[in-house]
C-alpha cells in the first residue's frame, strides 16, 4: 500500500512538473513545443520561442530572420498570466487586455520619437502614433539571460573546446619535437660537412706543400748534377781555346 502511494505521489509530481512546463500565450492559449520556459526549474517562468534570447524582465529577443533584434512578449507557464515571472509590460489576460484586442504574443516596437508601444506579433502594421495602441510609459530595463538548454550547450561546447585544446597541445608537442629533431639533425650534418671540408682542405694543402718541396728538391738535384758536369766541359773548352791560340 505504501509503495502504491509512493508511486502515485511520484506520478502526480511528474504530471505537475509536466503541466508547469507548458507555455501559454499572453491570451492564455496553449503554445506549441517551439516555445519553452526560460527557467524550467522554477514554479513559473517566462516563455520564449526557439532561438530567442530570454531577458530578465520576461521578454524575449529574436535572433532569426526578420525577428533579429526585435523584442517580444511571448507568454509564460502561468495560463492566467498573473505570476510575477510573466511579463506585464503589455496587456495580457491577467488585466483583460485593458480593452485591447487579444493576441497570443506582443512585439515591443520602438518609435522614431523614442517611445515604445505594444504591437501584435502577427501584425504588419506599426503601433506608433496609433490612437488605440498601448503605449509603454517607462523605459524597459533588462539584461540578457540564457535558457538551461543554452547552458547545457555551452557546457558541452566548453568541454569540446577543452578536448580540442588538449588535442592541439598534443599535436603541437609532437610537431615541436619533430621540428626540434630535424633542426638538431641538420645542425649535426652541417657541422660534419664543415669538419670534413676542413680536413680535406688541410690534406690538400699538405699535399701541395709536399709536392712543392719535392719539385724544389728535383730542381736542386738537377742543378747539382749540372754543376758536377761543368768541370769536364770547362777542360774541353780550355783545350779548344789553347789550340786556337
Here the contacts of 29-34 (C-beta below 8 Å, separation 24 or greater) are 29/104, 30/79, 31/74, 31/75, 31/104
Q: Which residues pair with 48 in a beta bridge?
A: 36
**102-136 pLDDT tens trace:** 899 999 998 888 888 998 998 888 888 876 677 77
Higher pLDDT, 32 or 18: 32
In this structure, the answer to whether residues 53 and 141 fall within a common structural domain is: yes
132 lies in some domain = yes
Are 103 and 45 members of one domain?
A: yes
Q: Are 141 and 186 found together in one domain? A: no
Number of domains in the chain: 2
Residue that finishes a domain, picked among 128, 145, 162: 145
Whether residues 100 and 186 fall in one domain? no
pLDDT value, residue 242: 52
Picking from 91, 126, 145, the residue at the C-terminal end of a domain is 145
State the residue range of the domain holding 213.
Answer: 173-245
Which residue(s) pair with 136 in the sheet?
Answer: 116
What is the model's pLDDT at position 106? 92
Residues 30-42, mean pLDDT to the nearest whole number? 93
Edge-to-edge strands, sheet with 53-55:
134-136, 116-120, 106-110, 71-73, 60-61, 53-55, 144-145
pLDDT (0 to 100) of residue 237: 57
**Taking 80 as the threshold, does the pLDDT of residue 150 lie above it?**
no
Domain assignment present for 161: no
Least confident segment among 3-17, 30-44, 152-166: 3-17
**Are 184 and 68 members of one domain?**
no
- Indicate if 112 and 185 belong to the same structural domain: no
Confidence of residue 234 (pLDDT cuts 50, 70, 90): low
Does one domain contain both 192 and 137?
Answer: no
Amino acid at each position: 500500500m505504501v509503495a502504491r502511494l509512493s508511486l502515485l505521489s511520484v506520478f502526480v509530481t511528474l504530471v505537475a512538473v509536466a503541466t508547469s512546463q507548458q507555455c501559454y500565450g499572453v491570451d492564455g492559449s496553449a503554445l506549441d513545443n517551439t516555445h519553452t520556459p526560460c527557467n524550467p526549474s522554477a514554479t513559473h517562468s517566462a516563455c520564449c520561442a526557439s532561438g530567442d534570447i530570454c531577458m530578465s524582465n520576461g521578454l524575449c529577443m529574436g535572433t532569426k530572420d526578420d525577428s533579429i533584434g526585435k523584442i517580444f512578449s511571448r507568454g509564460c507557464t502561468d495560463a492566467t498570466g498573473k505570476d510575477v515571472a510573466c511579463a506585464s509590460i503589455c496587456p495580457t489576460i491577467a488585466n483583460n487586455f485593458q480593452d485591447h484586442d487579444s493576441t497570443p504574443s506582443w512585439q515591443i516596437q520602438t518609435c522614431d520619437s523614442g517611445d515604445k508601444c505594444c504591437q501584435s506579433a502577427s501584425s504588419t502594421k506599426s503601433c506608433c502614433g496609433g490612437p488605440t495602441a498601448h503605449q509603454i510609459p517607462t523605459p524597459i530595463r533588462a539584461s540578457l539571460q540564457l535558457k538551461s538548454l543554452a547552458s547545457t550547450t555551452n557546457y558541452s561546447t566548453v568541454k569540446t573546446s577543452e578536448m580540442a585544446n588538449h588535442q592541439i597541445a598534443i599535436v603541437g608537442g609532437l610537431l615541436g619535437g619533430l621540428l626540434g629533431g630535424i633542426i638538431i639533425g641538420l645542425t649535426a650534418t652541417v657541422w660534419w660537412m664543415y669538419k670534413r671540408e676542413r680536413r680535406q682542405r688541410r690534406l690538400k694543402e699538405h699535399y701541395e706543400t709536399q709536392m712543392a718541396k719535392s719539385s724544389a728538391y728535383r730542381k736542386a738535384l738537377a742543378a747539382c748534377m749540372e754543376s758536377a758536369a761543368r768541370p769536364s766541359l770547362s777542360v774541353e773548352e780550355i783545350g779548344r781555346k789553347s789550340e786556337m791560340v
